[in-house]
Chains A and B, each alone.
Chain A
Amino acid sequence: MRKSSFPYAASLTLLALAILISIAIGAVFIPPADVWKALTGLIAGNLPASLETSAFILWKIRLPRTALVLLTGAALGGSGAAYQGLFRNPLADPYLIGVASGAGLGAVLAMNVRWPYTFWGLMAVPAAAFIGALLTVFVVYMLARIGKTVPTTNLILAGVAFGSFATALISFLMLRSTGELRRAIAWLLGGSSQAGWGPVLTILPYLAIGLGILLLSGHALNLLQFGDDQAQQLGLPVTRTKTLILIAASLATAAAVSFSGIIGFVGLIVPHVMRLWFGADYRRLLPLSVLGGAGMLLVADVLARVVMAPQELPVGIITALAGAPFFLWVLRRAKAQGFW
């Protein structure tokens, strides 16, 4: 009934702010005014000589990195919201239910066969990550299921166990490999250190399809909150819809993981906060989680760059430091209420 656009306006403003900070801050600080001049100069072709270095840094490093982090965060936020809705479980998150690790395992396996560092070589990584993510969802869901329900604890336990298994395999593969080790480590630390537009362009199609489907699934996810029977009685083709959403969320997760490594808790925190602030309607929650995820990961990435500058922290450390306590709080709250 309420058709307020305030949540979108607020999220977009915060996101724009995060983008600006992410572009300006790094080993070299570039003032926003210079950012503007350098970019317009680049486009118009009349770049002042004094800004050539800044323009180079912006175009080759800052912008692609910002874009990759933004897309990764959007994917994690959106797929987190979708998994929570699909499993009717507030603690479902691509990381906690093991999907991120499964996707990571797929990605590392693909890197291990030494694809050339070309466009198609890069494409193989998210494809393998996608297969890893889908297999993981399937295995974890089957392990956690009791009859028709998927209890929270089971889902998390199965997800964490499977995730640890996949992570162990990842470590094993990385230690075994030699030539590709550098690339694999760079990936694990957050692929944003792989400079250039290649990764951004590579994950874009995966993300467009995955997030595109998710953004259209808000009403279906609303219906699914009442359980499969009621959703179907209200007119939803339940099995087909759930499969489609699952594939879309896994596609988005795989895209995020394949160049940014395994980043936890963004998909948990963002949909939760959005739900607390703006309500449970998935038609609103999904786009807001996409925007919020992008904003949150950008901020975390800036922190990762500045906390121990000039050394960079893996962004996953930042999200885990914020996310793990949040996770425990949600767990207690869910327990206390008997529902979420």
Chain B
Amino acid sequence: MLRIEKLSVSYGTRRVLHNVSLEVETGEVFVLIGPNGAGKSTLVRAASGVIPLLGGKIRTNGDDLAALPPMQRARYLAVVPQAVALPPAFTVWETVLMGRTPYLNFLGQASTKDDEIIRTALQKVDALDLSERRVGELSGGEQQRVLLARALAQSTPILLLDEPTSNLDLHYQVSLMETVRQLARRDNLAVLIALHDLNLAARYADRVALLVQGKIKAVGAPRQVLTPDLISTAYHLPVQVVPHPFAGVPLVLPDSPTELKVES
């Protein structure tokens, strides 16, 4: 369980997040949506402890994660970043091993138990056969799976993902989201994902939060948040929302470009 309480962050004098509060339950996939610059990535970074907080708490079962040293925090919370500019020369195995950092000694020696956890993590993302390949030789989709495996190797109850699908084609987008949802259910992870794609959010989120200019505008099930009103206002764009023909979830369609011209 992850509870973010009244989180505020500023870059210099610019306030990026204002008193953001949200709670991600165990086993839940919680998706953060919002236009560019709304503060989605900032929220993920702040929750993971890499930028200082202006105020607020990051809690899990009472512990304040923001107050912990990095090594201990990394046992509670793992981050899957975008697979860009990864060091190309490490092998997949070596990369996933780094997820074991919070449990290794400073020499980074892995025990057989660590090896077993790494193997399981690679299996979960279906990348065990890539173990000996170099990360630089992999496709974007494969690299993203490796980063997911690295986060799983951290064995944390909380998983944060920052725009994990933005460099992936349709197939990998869907398969990554499927994998993440399965993991949340099966391993009882609290999963928070920052996503651009509203329709992926609608399809895979248990709950959605709409973030606009650093403030939460709405939280709830996809059909409660992905409404024409809320989305049009947030994105400054008239949209239609129709039910997905098979899944029944909301499907967001931007209106015609002429409307867009009128708007601007």
Interface residues of A (CB under 8 A from B): 1, 88, 216, 218-220, 222-223, 225-230, 232-238, 275, 279-281, 283, 339-340
A238 and chain B: residue at smallest CB distance: B70
Q: Choose among A229, A234, A275, A281 the residue with the greatest number of B CB atoms under 10 Å from its CB.
A: A234
B216: min CB distance to chain A, Å: 23
Which of chain A's residues have a CB closer than 8 A to the CB of B70?
A: 232-233, 235-238
A283 to B90, CA, bound (A): 12
A229 to B162, CA, bound (A): 12
- Can you name 10 A-B residue pairings with CB atoms under 8 Å? A1-B115, A222-B98, A229-B50, A229-B81, A232-B48, A234-B101, A235-B71, A235-B73, A235-B102, A281-B94
B90: min CB distance to chain A, Å: 5
B103 and chain A: residue at smallest CB distance: A235
A238 to B74, CA, bound (A): 13
* B21-50, CB < 8 A from A: 45, 48-50
Which of chain A's residues have a CB closer than 8 A to the CB of B132?
A: 1
Which of chain A's residues have a CB closer than 8 A to the CB of B115?
A: 1
Asked whether B48 lies within 8 Å of A233 as measured between CB atoms, the reply is yes
B78 touches which of A219, A220, A233 (Cβ 8 Å):
A233
**Are A234 and B74 also in contact (CB < 8 A) when A219-B101, A279-B91, A280-B87 are?**
yes
B126: min CB distance to chain A, Å: 18
Q: Taking chain B's interface residues, is the majority helix, strand, or loop, or is none over half, making it mixed?
A: loop
Does B104 sit within 8 A of A, measured CB to CB? yes
Which of chain B's residues have a CB closer than 8 A to the CB of A216?
A: 106-107
Asked whether A233 lies within 8 Å of B49 as measured between CB atoms, the reply is yes
A90 to B94, CA, bound (A): 20
A274 to B74, CA, bound (A): 31
**Are A237 and B71 also in contact (CB < 8 A) when A232-B50, A281-B94, A283-B107 are?**
yes
A310 to B218, CA, bound (A): 84
A52 to B85, CA, bound (A): 62
Does B239 sit within 8 A of A, measured CB to CB? no
Which of chain B's residues have a CB closer than 8 A to the CB of A233?
A: 48-50, 70, 74, 77-79, 81
**Are A1 and B81 also in contact (CB < 8 A) when A225-B90, A235-B71, A279-B91 are?**
no
Asked whether A280 lies within 8 Å of B90 as measured between CB atoms, the reply is yes
**Are A219 and B106 also in contact (CB < 8 A) when A237-B69, A280-B90 are?**
yes
Seed contacts A219-B101, A281-B94; 12 additional CB < 8 Å A-B pairs: A216-B106, A222-B90, A222-B108, A234-B101, A234-B150, A235-B73, A235-B74, A235-B102, A236-B71, A237-B69, A237-B71, A340-B89
A281 touches which of B74, B90, B102 (Cβ 8 Å):
B90
Q: Choose among A218, A229, A235, A339 the residue with the greatest number of B CB atoms under 10 Å from its CB.
A: A235
A271: min CB distance to chain B, Å: 12
Which of chain B's residues have a CB closer than 8 A to the CB of A220?
A: 106
Q: Count how many pairs of residues, one from A and one from B, have CB atoms less than 8 Å apart in the complex.
A: 86
B99 touches which of A225, A228, A234, A238 (Cβ 8 Å):
A234
**Are A222 and B94 also in contact (CB < 8 A) when A230-B81, A234-B99, A235-B74 are?**
yes
Does B131 sit within 8 A of A, measured CB to CB? yes
Asked whether B89 lies within 8 Å of A219 as measured between CB atoms, the reply is no
A218 to B90, CA, bound (A): 13
Asked whether A226 lies within 8 Å of B98 as measured between CB atoms, the reply is yes
Which of chain B's residues have a CB closer than 8 A to the CB of A225?
A: 87, 90
Asked whether B101 lies within 8 Å of A279 as measured between CB atoms, the reply is no
A230 touches which of B79, B93, B106 (Cβ 8 Å):
B79
**Are A219 and B87 also in contact (CB < 8 A) when A233-B49, A281-B94 are?**
no
B112: min CB distance to chain A, Å: 12
A237 and chain B: residue at smallest CB distance: B70
A339 to B48, CA, bound (A): 27
Asked whether A219 lies within 8 Å of B91 as measured between CB atoms, the reply is no
B51 and chain A: residue at smallest CB distance: A229
A230 to B93, CA, bound (A): 17
* B234-259, CB < 8 A from A: none
Which of chain B's residues have a CB closer than 8 A to the CB of A229?
A: 45, 48, 50, 81
Asked whether B104 lies within 8 Å of A275 as measured between CB atoms, the reply is no
* B93-124, CB < 8 A from A: 93-94, 98-99, 101-102, 104, 106-108, 115
A85 and chain B: residue at smallest CB distance: B87
A231 to B234, CA, bound (A): 34
Does B86 sit within 8 A of A, measured CB to CB? yes
A225 and chain B: residue at smallest CB distance: B87
A2: min CB distance to chain B, Å: 8
Asked whether A219 lies within 8 Å of B104 as measured between CB atoms, the reply is yes
B241: min CB distance to chain A, Å: 35
